[in-house]
Amino acid sequence: AQTLTLLGIESSCDDTAAAVVRLAEGRGTVLASVVAGQTDLHAAFGGVVPELAARAHTEKLDLCVEQALAQAGLGLTDLDGVAVTAGPGLIGGVMAGVMCAKGLAAGAGLPLVGVNHLAGHALTPRLTDGLEFPYLMLLVSGGHCQFLLVRGAEAFTRLGGTIDDAPGEAFDKTAKLLALPQPGGPAVETEAALGDPRRFAFPRPLLDRPGCDMSFSGLKTALLRARDGVMADGALRRQDRADLCAGFQAAVSAVLAEKSRRALADYLALAPADPVFAVAGGVAANRAIRAALEDVAARAGARFVAPPLALCTDNAAMIAWAGIERFRLGHRDGMSLSARPRWPL
Ligand code: KG4
Ligand code: ZN
């Protein structure tokens, strides 16, 4: 069997990452994975500032690559290629990564493979759990929300997704409205555990419409209105806050669960031999949401697979692995590889 060792580079949002992944005897192994976040850099601005992100990527990429190679105990000459996120994402950051990868590939005489960031997320369960095609994937994070039918390393069908905000973004905005710390997901989840999910009736957007599309921006407006309704003298009581969080989380959870049920029905129509519902992204860390999704999978007779969180959130191991998958199919990108801010799967 083929043995391949690739360096992966990721810089499409606010994480600078490098990793080394090896394929041996048909299985992938993460030899090293380094992620340098930029949370502090953007904290004061209430969101990622593209120019600041790009500059920070440029400053940190070399060091991340050096650290990843050192962790793996390998040199550039031990590699079979370099994989890099070529999009979609913030153009300055993607360009910084692509330029770094080109420099390394050209300098060491290695082949270069451009990877779609979403394909990286979608193929991760093949690295962690050795999944066979086809499987259903729900990608649910601060920046993404979509159902993907993964039929092959380069064959994806988008069954539906958010038409506005991603759920993670909604959790973050909710936290902001309720004066909870960022990232909002974990903070809202903690509060929600102490609240009554039935006290506030939050909308379940798009449930009345067929298909797997979702919408989360209206929830934020509903939350703001409910908050203002219970706030006295600009202050929010602890129990009110907990009930608001619980209601919000229940709404997100209900929408994701119902749309997952529909996506699973579409997927099961393909009659897969070993039906699998896989999730990835930071929001999949939420215990209530995860339990709801597990329940939907169990009812449909599908196995539920969630990669470890470090490989669910943005990282470069998923890019190295997706690079290996492309490499295996014979794909190589030359020095003409360009950064694509928009790149649908
Ligand atoms: O995948 P990720 O690390 O980054 C990208 O968005 O690409 O996801 C981060 C998002 C944030 O919006 C964060 O608030 C959310 O995932 N998140 C959660 C939880 N943990 C992280 N949302 C809900 N519940 C959680 N426990
Ligand atoms: Zn991502």
Same domain, 24 and 85: yes
189 or 281: which leads in pLDDT? 189
Å from CA of 22 to ligand 1 middle:
28
Task: Tell me the CA distances in angstroms from 293 to 228, 243, 283, one per residue in order.
Answer: 31, 22, 12
Residues 226 and 106 in one domain: no
pLDDT surpasses 80 at 1: no
CA 171 to centroid of ligand 2, rounded, Å: 16
- pLDDT tier at 160, thresholds 50, 70, 90: very high
Q: Using CA atoms of 210, 211, 213, 217 in order, give the dihedral in degrees to the nearest 10.
A: 20
Q: What is the pLDDT of residue 42?
A: 82
pLDDT at 255: 97
pLDDT level of residue 97 (50, 70, 90 thresholds): very high
Q: Would you say 5 and 31 are in contact if contact means Cβ atoms under 8 Å apart?
A: yes
Q: Are residues 150 and 269 in the same domain?
A: yes
Determine, yes or no, domain membership for 57.
yes
- pLDDT for residue 339 is more than 90: yes
Same domain, 160 and 295: yes
pTM to 2 decimal places: 0.93
Domain around 147? 142-309
Structure confidence at residue 291 (pLDDT): 97
Residue 335 lies in a domain: no
On average, the pLDDT of the chain sits at 95
Cα→Cα distances 318→23, 151, 155, 192, 228, Å: 13, 17, 17, 31, 42
What tokens were used for 278? 């896989």
**Ligand 1 mean position to 168 CA, how many Å?**
5
Sole residue written with tokens 């943005």:
314
And the tokens for 164?
């506005």
Query: 341 in a domain, yes or no?
Result: no
Q: Please list the helix, strand and coil fractions of the chain in percent, rounded to the nearest 5, in that order.
A: 45, 20, 30
Same domain (yes/no): 261, 301: yes
Does residue 251 form part of some domain? Answer: yes
Q: Beta strand pairing status for 15-24 and 27-37? A: antiparallel
318 in the same domain as 281: no
Count structural domains, the chain. 2
201 alpha carbon – ligand 2 mean position (Å): 31
Ligand 1 centre to CA of 185 (Å) is 6
- Which residues line the pocket of ligand 1, CB cutoff 6 A? 13, 141-143, 168-169, 171-172, 183-186, 189, 281-283, 285-286, 313-314
Contact call for residues 302 and 277 (beta carbons, < 8 A) = yes
Choice between 109 and 37, residue whose per-residue pLDDT is larger: 109
Q: What residues are paired with 276 via a beta bridge?
A: 303
Q: Does residue 15 have a known ligand-binding role?
A: no
Q: Is 117 annotated as a binding residue?
A: yes
Q: What is the pLDDT of residue 43?
A: 78
Q: Does any domain span residue 276?
A: yes
Coil, helix or strand at residue 8? strand
Q: What is the pLDDT of residues 30-44, one digit of tens each?
A: 999 999 988 788 877
Instruction: State the virtual CA torsion across 7, 12, 16, 22 in degrees, nearest 10.
Output: -20
| Confidence class for position 183, pLDDT limits 50, 70, 90 | confident
Torsion sign (Cα): 141, 297, 266, 318: positive
Q: Give, for ligand 1, the residue of 10, 39, 165, 171 to mutate: max count of ligand atoms closer than 8 Å to Cβ.
A: 171
Q: Is residue 83 part of a domain?
A: yes
Q: For residues 255 and 251, give the distance between their C-alpha atoms in angstroms, rounded to a whole number.
A: 6
Predicted confidence (pLDDT) at residue 45 exceeds the cutoff of 90 = no
Q: Over the stretch 46-61, which tens digit does the pLDDT of each residue have?
A: 778 888 888 999 999 9
Whether the predicted pLDDT of 242 surpasses 80: yes
Instruction: Report the alpha-carbon distance of residue 98 to residue 96 in Å, rounded.
Output: 6
Q: Which ligand is nearest to the CA of 142?
A: 1
Report the pLDDT value the prediction gives residue 283, as an integer from 0 to 100: 94
Whether residue 101 sits in one domain with residue 29: yes
Does 122 share its domain with 31?
Answer: yes
User: 207 versus 295: which is more confidently predicted?
Assistant: 295
Does residue 337 lie in a domain region?
no
Alpha-carbon distances, residue 226 vs 132, 167, 209, 238 (angstroms) = 45, 19, 25, 14
For residues 194-214, give the mean pLDDT.
94
Nearest ligand to the CA of 120 is 2
233 pLDDT exceeds 90? no
Is 330 annotated in a binding site? The answer is no
Determine the Cα–Cα distance for residues 286 and 13; give it in Å rounded to an integer: 22
pLDDT score of 51: 87
Structural element, H or E, at residue 318: helix 317-328
Residue 208's closest CA among 218, 199, 195, 200?
A: 218
Do 261 and 160 lie in a common domain?
A: yes
What is the CATH number for 82?
3.30.420.40
Whose CA is closest to 139, among 158, 114, 163, 152? 158
Residues 298 and 193 in one domain: yes
Are both 173 and 66 inside the same structural domain? no
| Residue given tokens 């190679």 in the structure block | 69
Residue the block writes with tokens 């979609």? 88
Asked whether residue 336 is domain-assigned, the answer is no
Q: For the chain, count helices (H), then strands (E).
A: 11, 10
Regarding whether 317 and 290 lie in a shared domain, the answer is no
